[in-house]
Amino acid sequence: MRAEAIIDLAAIKANVKLMKEKSGVNVLAVVKADAYGHGLVDVAKAAIDAGASMLGVALLEEALALRAAGVTAPILAWLLQPGSDFKSAIDHDIDIAAASIAALKEIQIASQDKKARVHLEVDTGMSRGGFLSEWDQLDAHHVAGIEIVGLFSHFASADQPGAAQNQQQLDRYRKMLSTLESFGFTNIIRHLSNSAAAFTLPDAAFDMVRVGIAMYGLSPDVTTLGDSQELGLRPAMQLRAALYLVKDVPAGTPVGYGGTELTSRDTKLGVVVCGYADGIPRIAHDAGVWINGSRAPIIGRVSMDQFVVDLGPESRAKSGDWVVIFGNGSHGEYTADDWGDASSSINYEITTRIGPRVPRIYGAHVY
């Protein structure tokens, strides 16, 4: 094996329990995008074992994959556009999100034999998914024959605790909720908060919080909320890879495509068997790997299947050794936060982009 992502399911469980305790309400565990790269089925089962009451996915295919794997817990799928296979969702007891009258009409047609369970999504200010102008047109005949079980929206700026938009969205959600309740829908699941809001906006918890990035032990925003350790979270993914080759090179040696960097001294270079085809950002700079108790920075451009690190002239590394690309940071290694910063991106993207060529191994992290 030349690379592996080691997933600590005990960390996943600890994070779910922390978020449930912190919010004081039910937790929907967000496992979309292959559980943010951590492995859909295994993470979903761990989250339910830890006390999550519902699972959340973006796509119907993800929900069906969970059902095929024997997961019986409640699942909400929230990106089913008109034309989707709503009947399959209904037949497999998958809750459906609806954000338009057109979608509701198709869900009604698919509900002839069995009522769909629907969560209405409303746009409270993010201007992404959800009812907005159509909300005022909604009436009883649009929801006849289906079961409205939830109302939800999504914060745009919950990772910025002082942002005025947070209160504006909360106020708008309450107003839209009041409209729905006036139609007689009072026994529904009210959910608005994401991971960041669960930390910063206790008034927005309602009946359930949707926990995504925090479940994986990563901060929604390191700058505004602090890192994983400060939030009490345990990062669950460690990415490791082997050194294909270690070799001595003189000072002034160009490295990688375009020779964009030169070695500043006589040194040892290590070729790491992982590249942008595996999810390593090609744009990354100021990141690297951890080996033999020290960091070795990237030098040159990341290639499709490999990248090069400067091990230093005194390095004892040899071809075939394993390096940690990122981990929980407890030993001094680079973290997903570090790689996100080095790529002008965020930790979410770092874990979710780890490709299928990298097997997921479940167990404790290795150093």
Q: How far is CA 201 from CA 24, 61, 85, 164, 241, in A?
A: 12, 32, 36, 12, 39
Q: Which candidate in 114, 175, 247, 257 is catalytic?
A: 257
DSSP-derived letter for residue 220 is S
Distance CA 233, CA 155 (A): 21
Place of tokens 């969702």: 89
What pLDDT, in 10s, does the model give residues 232-278? 999 999 999 999 999 999 999 999 999 999 999 999 999 999 999 99
Q: Answer whether 305's CB lies under 8 Å from 273's CB.
A: yes
Confidence of residue 279 (pLDDT cuts 50, 70, 90): very high
In this prediction, residue 335 carries a pLDDT of 98
Indicate the range of 5-9, 77-81, 141-145, 300-304 predicted with least confidence: 141-145
- Interatomic CA distance for residues 305 and 272, integer angstroms: 9
Count of Cβ atoms closer than 10 Å to residue 277 Cβ? 13
Q: Is 248 helix (H, G, I), strand (E, B) or coil?
A: strand
Q: What distance in Å separates the CA atoms of residue 231 and residue 272, rounded to the nearest whole number?
A: 32
302-329 residue pLDDT tens: 999 999 999 999 999 999 999 999 999 9
Residues 6 or more apart in contact with residue 122 via CB below 8 angstroms:
130, 131, 132, 135, 151, 152, 153, 173, 176
Please compute Rg for the chain using Cα positions: 23
The confidence score (pLDDT) of residue 124 equals 97
Distances (CA, A) of 138 to 28, 131, 236: 27, 9, 43
pLDDT at 262: 98
313, 265 in Cβ contact below 8 A?
yes
How high is the pLDDT of residue 83? Answer: 95
DSSP conformation letters of 94-146: EEEEE-SHHHHHHHHHHTSSSPPEEEEEB-SSSSSSSBSGGGGG--GGGSTTS
Question: pLDDT per residue over 26-69, tens digit each?
Answer: 999 999 999 999 999 999 999 999 999 999 999 999 999 999 99
Q: Is the pLDDT of residue 336 over 90?
A: yes
C-alpha 197/C-alpha 105 separation (Å) is 32
CA 272 from centroid of its chain's CA atoms? 25
Half-sphere exposure in the Cβ direction for 335 (13 Å, CA): 22
Question: At 45, phi and psi to the nearest 5?
Answer: -65, -40
Residue whose pair of structure tokens reads 């990688």 in the numeric block: 256
pTM: 0.96
Question: Half-sphere exposure of residue 16, counting CA atoms within 13 Å on the CB side?
Answer: 25
- Between residues 186 and 39, the one the model is more confident about: 39
CB 9 within 8 A of CB 362: yes
Domains and CATH numbers, the chain: 9-230 (3.20.20.10), 237-362 (2.40.37.10)
For the segment 165-177, the average pLDDT, to the nearest whole number, is 97
**Is 32 marked active-site?**
yes
pLDDT, average across residues 12-20: 98
Report the half-sphere exposure of 100 (CA within 13 A, side-chain side).
10
140 pLDDT higher than 90? no
Is 276 marked active-site?
A: no
Selecting among 32, 45, 334, 348, the annotated active-site residue is 32
Q: How far apart are CA 155 and CA 197, in angstroms?
A: 8
Percent of the chain surpassing pLDDT 90 = 97
3-state secondary structure of 354: coil
- What is the overall mean pLDDT for the chain? 97
**Can you tell me the mean pLDDT for 280-299?**
96
